[in-house]
Amino acid sequence: MLYNIVMILIFIVCVLIILIVLIQNAKGGGLAANFAGSSQIMGVRRTADFLEKSTWTLAISLFVLCIIASMSIPRETVDPNKSKIEDKIMNMPGKNEAPILPNTQPPLNNQQ
pLDDT tens, residue order, the chain (112 aa): 888 999 999 999 999 999 998 888 766 555 555 555 544 555 556 777 888 899 999 999 999 999 999 998 887 776 676 777 777 777 776 656 666 666 676 666 665 5
**Integer distance in angstroms from the first to the last C-alpha of the chain?**
70
Reduced to 3 states (helix: H, G, I; strand: E, B; else coil), residue 64 is helix
What are the contacts of 88-93 at 24+ separation with CB within 8 A? none
d(CA 76, CA 42): 52
* pLDDT reported for residue 49: 83
d(CA 11, CA 66): 11
What are the contacts of 72-81 at 24+ separation with CB within 8 A? 72/2, 72/3, 72/6, 73/3, 74/3
pTM of whole model > 0.85? no
* pLDDT reported for residue 10: 95
